[in-house]
Amino acid sequence: MEIFIQENLEIIIAGLASLGGVVSYLILKSRKEPVVSDHIESKESGEEKKVEVPTPAGPSWAQRLSKGLEKSRQDVWGKIGDLFSGEKTNLDDIEEILYSADIPTSYVQSLLTKLETEGKGKSSVEIQNLVFDFMNQKMAPIQENVTEDLFQYKPESGTKVFMIVGVNGAGKTTTIGKLATKLKGQGARVIVGACDTFRAAAVDQLQVWCERAGVDMVRAKDGADPSGVAYDTVAKAFAENYDYCLIDTAGRLHTNQNLMDELGKTKRVMSKINEKAPHQVLLVLDAITGQNALKQAQEFNKALDLSGIIFTKCDGSAKAGGAVAIVDELKVPIIYIGVGEGVEDLHHFDKDLYLKTLIGLD
Ligand code: GDP
Ligand code: MG
């Protein structure tokens, strides 16, 4: 027998290889056809495409976050202890740096009051801890409600639809690309709907991300109705048991009202397929825009009843501390934070790590 195998090894290997080919052909044949309407082109990466999930190389998340928040820490939050400790009471300087970081007046004033009443004679580290308490008290009650399924894939938990909204340039499309890559890396099946049909380049940009991530994408022919694309993507997601369905949307229309109306319609049509869809409406906010980010958030929240925020570009300015006002004013938690353009620069938001890194506490 052993001799037989040795002598015929090549023939046996060739036989097994062609058997494998037949089996994969049969598997491919048995795959369901996409449930999409005529005006939609579905771009499927297909299960047969083997995706190499890259192991994160380079700096850890804590290091990336620290680098990303460097400016906000060095120019603003990390300085407060040195300006107000022991005999020093430079409240005017603290007020100035907080305003330069675009922190809303009411937050600046109540932090100054806290320092005056509780901080006299304390050490620099104790003052930094007071700053931590101040921010933590505002954020903790809201951040507590974040459920893990927003960032951690659990098999068999059913299709989850995330609608991603925000103004142009905030980072929606790249964030979806990063999210799709991460969720796929956890083993989830992901489908993306390219509903920013007003800009062909936006759809192409998303497609590059999806191809790279090896996830499926539904795209419309140019100028199609964004709600139609959302509807078809969500229908396909439920019909074919995808784990996550990520819906990209437009960020600019002729007027803000047009944009909000269109987004409202997109949200409503999804619920016709499943009453829980979209499970999450996530607003992408660019930290660089400071208090303007807060105004945008209020407007989007009024129109769409947001469930979470993705706070991007925290690496781009000294304004990352604005998160505290956004969370507290809106009573909406931050789910993800972005500190750069790479996939590994987006991470789920850990309040304590964020605050300690921002303030410079170990
Ligand atoms: P959209 O118009 O909302 O879809 O925005 P895009 O996804 O096209 O992003 C606009 C730009 O912001 C792109 O060049 C992204 O690479 C960049 N970007 C997104 N997130 C971050 C981030 O966290 N940090 C930095 N520095 N750039 C980011
Ligand atoms: Mg976009």
pLDDT in tens, 192-242: 999 998 888 888 999 999 999 999 999 987 778 999 999 999 999 999 999
Tell me the per-residue pLDDT of 137-150, one tens digit each, with 9 for 90 and over: 999 999 998 988 88
Range list of H helices, the chain: 2-7, 9-30, 61-68, 70-75, 80-83, 91-100, 105-118, 124-143, 172-185, 200-213, 226-239, 256-273, 291-304, 323-330, 351-359
**Model pTM score:** 0.85
Q: Mutate which of 61, 192, 341 to test ligand 1's pocket (most atoms within 8 Å of Cβ)?
A: 341
In the reported structure, the alpha carbon of residue 294 is separated from the centroid of ligand 2 by a whole-number distance in angstroms of 20
Q: Which of 263, 287, 31, 41 is nearest to 163 (CA)?
A: 263
What does the alpha-carbon distance between residue 347 and residue 178 come to, in Å, rounded to a whole number? 9
Q: Is any ligand 1 atom within 6 A of the Cβ of residue 198?
A: no
What integer pLDDT is reported at residue 229 of this predicted model? 95
Long-range contacts of 105-110 (CB under 8 A, 24+ apart): 107/324, 107/325, 107/328, 110/134
Q: Is any ligand 1 atom within 6 A of the Cβ of residue 170?
A: yes
Atom of ligand 1 at shortest range from CA of 167:
3
What does the alpha-carbon distance between residue 130 and residue 110 come to, in Å, rounded to a whole number? 12
The answer to whether the Cα torsion of 161, 267, 235, 284 is positive or negative is negative
- Residue 281 phi, psi (nearest 5): -115, 110
Tell me the per-residue pLDDT of 165-199, one tens digit each, with 9 for 90 and over: 999 999 999 999 999 999 999 999 999 999 998 88
For tokens 């789920």, name the residue: 348
